[in-house]
Structure 1
Amino acid sequence: MSEELPRRVPARAGLDWVTGAFRLFIKSPLMLGAATALFLGALLILQLIPYAGAGLTEILTPLMLAGFMRAFRAIDEGGEPELPHFAAGFRNHALPLAMVGAIYLGVLLAILWLMKQLGVDYQAMMQAIQQGAAPEQVAQGLEGKGVLLLVGLGLVIPAVAATWYAPALVLFGNATSLQAMGLSLKACLRNWVALLANGLVLIPVFLLALVPVVGMLIAVPVMLGTAYLGYQSMFASRS
């Protein structure tokens, strides 16, 4: 009888992914740190493109993340990550990976539209922050809308969950965009306790990394390493 995928993993797996990701990072810190700097730089440059920047960022992000998944697999198998590994998403499965980003973008825009109809304009709020509005002014505009903010968060979380393992599922499992997103969402729902434990550990790691900005060159690849190890735990074949 074939094993049902995604597998259910214990809660402590979420902690194991963090320690495992640190071990993978330590094996090739310079290459992973440099790749992360390029990744974050590319995201910033894309955001500067008028009108299309935000959309291009969402569409291209899965292709870039697939490269990290390939690099982590190389390290996991005892090798060294090489530059071509980080371009794996662009060389293989580029269309389904881009479709993952496009679908996520479409869902995100639909959520933003819905929330605007309900009285919460996230885009206007972000513009006000970018234009230097005081935190008190932003908070005033959200007064009495706490429940709506929670509704928005509750809609965004499943969308993020549907993309979390999608790059690895497309790259390693040859899944279509919709298959990958469906399986990723299923994996997150089935293993939400492990992912919660994982997130609770990663949050302070990111907060500490923000103090020296260079810390992000460690925190980001570690976070992506947990996604790779989560994929391995839930989906990878076992010999």
Structure 2
Amino acid sequence: MSRLTITRPPGTAGVAWLAQGWRLFTGGVIAWMGMAAMSLLAVMLIGSVPMVGSAIVELLSPFLVAGFMVASRAARAGQPFSFYMFSNGFLDAPQQLAIVGAVYLGASLIAQWVMQAMGGEGFKLLFELAQTRPDQVDPAQAELILHEALPAMAVGLLILTPALLATWFAPALVLFDGFPPVRAMYWSLWASVINWRPMLIYGLWLTLAGVVAMLIPFGLGLLVFVPVAMASSYIAYAELFVKTQPPAEAEEEQAPAEGDA
């Protein structure tokens, strides 16, 4: 297992991560778009399985992320990469990545249950309107959504956000640094918390880019957004987690701190 230091870049680093992710993408557009198309197709096919499709997608998401991380590392080193790198997670760390996926799936299910329990009729109404007629909301429906659905969604977001941050860098830490899954998720969460400024700026710009990508017809925007998002996430990982000299055996199990860990 690698010994790492968690760095503290400035808030503007969030924008720099996206810029470097874009440069990696433009260095191999065809290969990146091919990987994005394959991953999106897999998500669509698996997600279409009745009852359990979305759960399986969340469970397998760390494996897809791991594949993109391997491709990003190769691209940054000027090496060729392709969709076959999706197999790395399944071959190198299947149990560890499955645990990461199970934790995120569990948090997602808890968040959904809480939102449905708190939101009541307002949450059901919001879901129905989003699926059918979002432009036809009367004042009574708007009040119901405002007083029931939105608070429930806020609580669900509070539950899901720590899980998202804990699993954000975990696949890379498991695959590249040999971290056990729980330790990897702890480090990922801790690094995100102490670097909340660049992570917040990065997340806001990434969300905006994702919204724009969703508006482009035929999913073409996603073929660009997904690779840039994954490549920039690798850049963030590489900047936040820096290898240090091997520690003495007595220090090997120290908890992560702002400096050495």
TM-score, length of structure 2 as denominator length: 0.82
Contact 1:116 1:122 in 2 (8 A): no
The residue type paired with residue 13 of structure 1 is A
Quote the residue 2:145 is aligned against. Answer: 142
Q: 3-state SS of the aligned residue for 1:30?
A: helix
Quote the residue 2:88 is aligned against. Answer: 88
Judged with a 3 Å threshold, the aligned counterparts in structure 2 of structure 1 residues 115 and 215 are, in CA distance, closer, same or farther, namely closer
The residue type paired with residue 158 of structure 1 is P
Q: CA deviation at 1:102?
A: 0.8
Contact 1:112 1:122 in 2 (8 A): no
Quote the residue 2:23 is aligned against. Answer: 23
C-alpha RMSD of matched pairs (Å): 2.5
Q: How many residues align?
A: 238
Judged with a 3 Å threshold, the aligned counterparts in structure 2 of structure 1 residues 130 and 211 are, in CA distance, closer, same or farther, namely closer
Question: Of the candidates 186, 190, 193, which is equivalent to residue 186 of structure 1?
Answer: 190
The residue type paired with residue 220 of structure 1 is V
Q: CA deviation at 1:6?
A: 2.3
Quote the residue 1:221 is aligned against. Answer: 227
Q: Which runs of 5+ in 1 are unaligned?
A: none
Name which of structure 1's ranges 18-27 and 192-201 shifts more when overlaid on structure 2: 192-201
Name which of structure 1's ranges 170-179 and 112-121 shifts more when overlaid on structure 2: 112-121
Q: Distance in 2 between matches of 1:132 and 1:21?
A: 36
The residue type paired with residue 161 of structure 1 is L
Structure showing greater Rg: 2
Q: CA deviation at 1:216?
A: 1.4
Quote the residue 1:160 is aligned against. Answer: 164
TM-score, length of structure 1 as denominator length: 0.89
Name which of structure 1's ranges 63-72 and 78-87 shifts more when overlaid on structure 2: 78-87
1:57-68 mapped onto 2 (5 Å cutoff):
57-68=57-68
Question: Of the candidates 232, 240, 246, which is equivalent to residue 234 of structure 1?
Answer: 240
Contact 1:115 1:121 in 2 (8 A): no
Q: Distance in 1 between matches of 2:122 and 2:111?
A: 10
Q: Percent identity?
A: 32
Moved over 4 A (4+): 120-127, 137-141
Q: CA deviation at 1:132?
A: 2.2
Q: CA deviation at 1:238?
A: 6.5
Judged with a 3 Å threshold, the aligned counterparts in structure 2 of structure 1 residues 117 and 7 are, in CA distance, closer, same or farther, namely same
Contact 1:74 1:81 in 2 (8 A): yes
Q: Is 1:48 paired with 2:54?
A: no
Name which of structure 1's ranges 188-197 and 6-15 shifts more when overlaid on structure 2: 6-15
Quote the residue 2:36 is aligned against. Answer: 36
Name which of structure 1's ranges 97-106 and 117-126 shifts more when overlaid on structure 2: 117-126
Quote the residue 1:98 is aligned against. Answer: 98
Contact 1:170 1:177 in 2 (8 A): yes
Q: Which runs of 5+ in 2 are unaligned?
A: 246-261
